[in-house]
Structure 1
Amino acid sequence: MPDLKTLLPAGVLLAAMLGACASPPARFYALSGSVAPLEEAAASRSGIAVAVGPVSVPALVDRPQIVVSTSANQVQFDEFNRWAAPLGEDIARVIAKNLAQALPAARVWPYAQGTRSTPDYQVRIDIQQFVSTLGDGVLIEALWSVRRVAGGAPENGRSLVREATAGKDVEALVAAHSRALAQVSRDIASALESP
């Protein structure tokens, strides 16, 4: 029977080898919002209530993993860099936050959160493209509509935003997406400010 003193170093060595083979821990990312108030924000539009959503995203990026484009026809699902929340919900949250900042007198919330009050307007967003290229930039193409809940024709718009990354890592990529969504939010805010 082997001696305990001989087995102990072998066990420590085996544990160290297994630890070295372990996968790195996953990192989770959330989009952030920040938009300055619109200069042309009209006092007559103060107090409007706006629900943002639903937001649809392409099936290719509608997953926990951050999807990175590696060439014109190839993508990589990054198992260790993930979205902290479903992407469509996070986009709705950020655009709602941006609209609340752009239109300080308005009450704005993500549609999925619900509320006791009925909104005056609903903003629907269909993300056509959500492209992420490490060390280069991002592209967001969004079709959106601003609809008065009480009736009337919706105002439809399209935002196509390219934003360069400030670094080569995933954090810089997520920050670039946040800046691109700020521009989409400004486009929607301008439509909400239209009489």
Structure 2
Amino acid sequence: MEKYEVWSINWGIGLLLLSLVSGCQSSPEKQYFVLTTMPSQMVSGSIALEHDIGIGPIDVAEYLHFTQLMYQLDDGSLQRFANSYWAEPLEQGISRVMSINLSQGDRRRNLVLFPWRANNTPQYSIKIKVTSLNRDGNNARLNANWELTNNSLHQTLAKQNFIAVTNAGSTAAELVSAYSNLLTQLAKEIEKSLPQNSD
């Protein structure tokens, strides 16, 4: 092989590597988001856990299973936020923030996340089905059914549909914050039906 041909091949490989490197450098960095809880009102210190309350199962609409942040448009199509992703499955995020929010209502509560063992079923459990968590114009909207059950008595204590709306902002971060706010409102609504003394 002549020197010219070797130089041409090396030059071509160099251009290819350069284009790959520059392409990687120009790709926008992915952003990952998690739902957040209400500001804590609890003081520091330990307290004995007395009341077992289960959170779950959490059921979310199928379109909410995407890892990328999506919202549904009026025509039924899905719009995505570029480079914006959930850092955890949404049902797990909802379970996590609901347990923290509800623990703030009574620090003696031992919030148990579904699934739990059959021989360790909490006395009370809260089942949540999110039928819609979506951007609606300039607003974010939550539509969810929830059910509070006394597992030891196999009795439904409360069963309600919850709808709430809040400002969505324009960015992915603002939308996630709006979703977190809606879940805080849901926790406050469920709080009203929780036994204050789970005896």
Gaps of 5+ in 1: 38-45
Match 2:185 to one of 173, 183, 186: 183
Provide the rounded CA distance (Å) in 1 between the counterparts of 2:50 and 2:188. 18
Q: Does residue 101 in structure 1 map to residue 104 in structure 2?
A: yes
The superposition leaves residues 140-182 of structure 1 with CA deviations (integer Å, 9 ceiling, x where unpaired) of 11100000111123311121111213x4221111111111100
**Cα RMSD between the aligned structures?**
2.9
Match of residue 19 from structure 1: 21
Displacement after TM superposition at 1:113 (Å): 6.3
Distance 2:196 2:75 in 1: 38
Does the 8 Å CA contact 1:140/1:180 hold for their aligned counterparts?
yes
Distance 1:96 1:82, change over 3 A: same
Does residue 32 of structure 1 match 2:36? yes
Paired position in structure 2 for 1:89: 92
TM-score, normalization by structure 1: 0.79
DSSP-derived class of the 1:183 partner? helix
Q: How does 1:63-82 map to 2 (within 5 A)?
A: 63-78=66-81, 80-82=83-85
Letter in 1 for 2:147: S
Structure 2: segments with no counterpart, 5+ residues? 42-48
Instruction: Output the CA distance in 2 between the equivalents of 1:93 and 1:113.
Output: 15
Q: Within the alignment, does 1:127 sit opposite 2:121 as a pair? A: no
TM score, norm. by length of structure 2? 0.78
* More displaced 10-residue stretch of structure 1: 1-10 or 23-32: 1-10
1:161 aligns with 2:154: no
CA distance in 2, matches of 1:191, 1:35: 21
Do 1:35 and 1:186's aligned partners in 2 also have CA atoms closer than 8 Å? Answer: no
What secondary structure is seen at the aligned counterpart in 2 of 1:127? strand
Structure with bigger gyration radius: 2
CA distance in 1, matches of 2:88, 2:118: 20
Q: Secondary structure at the match of 1:112?
A: coil
1:41 maps to what in 2? none
Contact persistence 2:81–2:172 (CA under 8 A): no
